[in-house]
Chains A and B, each alone.
Chain A
Amino acid sequence: MKAQRASLWFLGTVFLLSAVHARGLRRCLIAMDMRHIGESFQQIKGTIQAKDTFPNVTILSTSGTLHSIKPLDVCCVTKNLLAFYVDRVFKDHQELSPQILRKISSIANSFLYMQKVLQQCQEQRLCHCGQEAANATRIIHDNYNQLEVRSAALKSLGELDVFLAWIDKNHQGTPAA
């Protein structure tokens, strides 16, 4: 009986902590206009994905990497993936078309702003980074390293919709600013 009660208390606490941390991410992204980022990507998606020479390989979606992320790890993984795109993907990608470059720049600068917002959350201890979050991030970096850098950057760019949809899903239900 006592063991059952203790289990229930433990589960309840875990659930409460998960909810608080999940809310943490949502609170962190309150002021973001995600729709604009999605629209910018949709305008270049076809062109980018058409240049992908390794259609059977994925960088973000290995074994449902993102979808297996627990609510507690969402903030940390989001922060890590934003850094992945800002520090590696956008830098490694060579774009000659001014129109596409403009859209990529818009997305890159929006990600910079999101990083700043999440940085504030981390300072308020709302963005905990655990082992599972680190593992998921490492898998994505390993996938990226297995390809030639230009191809890897192009593929990662083409999978932005996966990342944006994942952010949107974890961001759902947040009241408007």
Chain B
Amino acid sequence: MFQVKLSLPNTDPHEDSRRNLDKSYHVAFLHLDSMFAHREYESLYMSHIWIPSSRCSPTTVPECDVTDDITATVPYNLRVRAILGSQTSAWSILKPPFNRNSTILTPPGMEVTKDGFHLVVKLEDLGPQFEFLVAYWRREPGAKEHVKIVRSRGVPVHLETMEPAAVYCVKAQTFVKAIGRHSTFSQAECVKVQEETLPLALALFAFVGFMLILVVVPLSIWKTGRLLRYSCCPVVVLPDTLKITNSPQKLISCRREDVEACATTVLSSEELFRT
């Protein structure tokens, strides 16, 4: 949350810092001694005591996160010096001293989404010191604004179950209890819930399906019946030549005549053998 950045002399801030160091110091390595914090208590009661920073004692980069050192709402003096081999620079002291109640907080990053009919917000993770005040409302005249305190970081939070065809808006601000400060509210983000088209589509689909069932099922039953009939009890279709169109008595008469014709034919053959 609180960072100290050092600007190195004779350097172009737009160039890579290590290249600059090579230019200025002709070495590839710059060692920064401990960053010391001289707090108001030490300043008033123990002026000779400087306390080394918890994270930057020592450090090799020209910036330091002093959040864990700035723990009270009092003025802090900071000092830093550089060490290069056996050489040590003079102390550079922060002027004026820093008091964390001078912090200006900025609105948090926010992502507003809808999960079905649920209004969901996800806030950026700014660390354990931060809390968020989230305000949300239905965008219509006379709508009441609701406020929710959110402490979970980087995790989606459910705000409200929305009503169809309504627009809902959300905005958020950061709050740090340790210094009693709020940021301004972020820009409001609004989401709209679509009309309830699903039941209409469902009804249409159901109707079409019902009609299909009305047609397909009887057809299927009929077809199946025919198949079964042909399988179990097939109907034999005789060709016309085998069809009996005359009465059975005439058939018998015709057969007798045929037999006599056959007998005559047999006598004719014996004669053929005699000859």
A: which residues have CB within 8 A of B? 31, 33, 36, 40, 86-87, 90-91, 98, 101-102, 105-106, 108-110, 112-113, 176-177
Q: Cβ of A177 and Cβ of B72 under 8 Å apart?
A: no
CB distance from B57 to the nearest CB of A (A): 8
The reply to whether A40 and B46 contact each other, CB–CB distance below 8 Å, is no
Number of B interface residues, CB 8 Å? 20
What B residues does A113 contact at CB under 8 A? 72-74
Compute how far the CA of A86 lies from the CA of B57 in the bound complex, rounded to whole angstroms.
27
- The 7 A-B pairs of least Cβ separation, nearest first, read A109-B72, A106-B71, A108-B41, A110-B72, A31-B180, A33-B178, A109-B39
A177 to B45, CA, bound (A): 30
**Bound Cα distance from A134 to B46, whole angstroms:** 28
The answer on a CB contact under 8 Å between B71 and A91 is no
Q: How many A-B contacts if CB must be within 8 Å?
A: 49
Chain A nearest CB, measured from B39 CB (Å): 5
Scoring A90, A91, A106, A110 by chain B CB atoms within 10 A of each residue's CB, the highest score goes to: A106
Q: Which of A33, A102, A108, A109 has the most CB of B within 10 A?
A: A109
User: Contact at A112–B52, with CB atoms within 8 Å?
Assistant: no
Known: A102-B51, A177-B180. A91 touches B72 (CB 8 A): no
Given A90-B41, A101-B51, A102-B54, does the pair A36, B180 have CB atoms closer than 8 Å? no
Report B-chain residues with C-beta under 8 Å of the C-beta of A91.
Answer: 45-46
Shortest Cβ gap from B230 to chain A (Å) = 86
| CB proximity of B128 to chain A, nearest CB, Å | 10
The reply to whether B41 and A109 form a contact with Cβ atoms under 8 Å apart is yes
Asked whether A98 lies within 8 Å of B51 as measured between CB atoms, the reply is yes
Task: Please indicate the chain A residues that have their CB under 8 angstroms from the CB of B178 in the complex.
Answer: 33, 36
Interchain CB contact under 8 A, A86 and B74? no
Q: Mark B63-85, 1 if CB is under 8 A from A, else 0.
A: 00000010111100000000000
Least Cβ–Cβ distance between B55 and chain A, in angstroms: 11
